[in-house]
Chain A
Amino acid sequence: MKPVDQKEESVYQRVVLKNASPYHYLKVHLVLENETTRLTAVELKQFIITGLKTLHGEVGAALNVDVLKYDDDSLTALLRVSSRGLVKLWSSLTLLGSYQNQACAFRVLQVSRPTLFFNGPVQYSQNYHWGVTEVHPEQETNTCLP
C-alpha cells in the first residue's frame, strides 16, 4: 500500500470515533403474546432491570439504563446505556422471555451511538485507526443524534 502523502487532498472525510461517546442507543420493540397488553414507561424500565438482574446479578441491575423515548401504544422504546454496558443490556433483553406469565420477546431494531460530522474535506492522517466513519464531502453534513 502506497504511503499517504500529507500534502495530498483527500476525497473523503475521515473522523475518529475513538471513545467519542460513552453511550449507546438501542431502539427496541417489545412483542407480547397477548397483543393488547400495555406497559407504562416505568413498568418497562422495571422489567428491563429485572432482566439485567437475572442474567448479570447486582452488578447488572446497577447499570444505568435510561428510557429516552417510549411509545406505549406500539411498545417501542429508545434506550440509552453506557457503552461498557451494551453487551450486558443486549444479552439481558435477548433472554427476557416472559412478562407476567405471558411469553414475550424484545426485538432490537437499531443500535447506534452519536456521531459528529465535520464540514469540508480534511487531511487524511495515518494516526486514524479504529472507529472510523467515512462521509463524502458533498453529502449534507449534520450533527447526528438519534
Chain B
Amino acid sequence: GSSSVGRYLLCEINVSDKSQLLLLDDRAVATAVKAAVARTHGDYGLALCTIRFSVKYLNTHTGIVLLRFPKRCYKLLWSALPFITSITTRGHNIPCFLNCLHVGGTIRTCQKFLIRYNTQQLHRMLPKCKNEEEKQQIREAILDCSLEDGTKEAFEEESESEEDEEE
C-alpha cells in the first residue's frame, strides 16, 4: 500500500579519525538519529521516527549509511540530521557530522548512485597515488565497480523487500 512507501537517504558519516568508524554499528546510528529528531522536533518527530524508520545499511570502512524514512515525513526527519554532532557507541563518544549524498525511492536507486559515487572517489584518488602499484590497485577497483559485483552482497537480503517499497 502507499502508506508503506519510503524514502532512502544515503548519507556519509564524517569523522576526523577514520579508525573510529569501525566502532559504529547500526543501532548506535539509529539511536543518534532518533535523539536528534527528538531534540529538534520533539515528541511528534520522535513518534514519526518510531514507525518504519531504520538503518538499512552501514559500511564502517567508508562511513556510508542508508537510512529509511516513511515517505510522508522524510523531509521533517531529514531536517534533524544536521543536528547530529556525535554518535555514542560502546562507551565511546565519536564526534561526527552527517552529509546526505542522495535521496532515493528504492534501495536499488541508492545502490546505483553509490556505485557511481565510489567510482568517482576512486578516480579522485588516482592522481594522489605514490607509485605505480597503488595506481594499478585503484584501476582494478574501478573496473570492479558494477552492480553485478561486490557491493551487491550487502544489499542482497534487502532486495526482497523492495517490491513493496517501489512506488
Contacts and interface: CB of A to CB of B under 8 A. Distances in A.
A and B co-occur in one complex:
yes
Interface of A: 52-60, 91
B42 interface: yes
A33 B44 CA distance: 26
Given A57-B37, A91-B44, 5 more contacts: A55-B43, A55-B44, A56-B41, A56-B42, A56-B44
A60 B41 CA distance: 7
Interface of B: 37-45
Nearest to B37: A57
Nearest to A91: B44
A interface: dominant SS: helix
8 contacts: A53-B42, A54-B42, A55-B43, A56-B41, A57-B40, A57-B44, A59-B40, A60-B41
B43 A59 contact: no
B110 to A, nearest CB: 27
Contacts of B38: 57
Contacts of A57: 37-42, 44-45
A87 to B, nearest CB: 10
Nearest to A52: B42
Contacts of B43: 54-56
A58 B44 contact: no
Contacts of B39: 57-58
B81 to A, nearest CB: 14
B161 to A, nearest CB: 30
B69 to A, nearest CB: 17
Nearest to B45: A57
Contacts of A59: 40-42
Contacts of B37: 57
A63 B103 CA distance: 29
Nearest to B36: A57
A52 B44 CA distance: 10
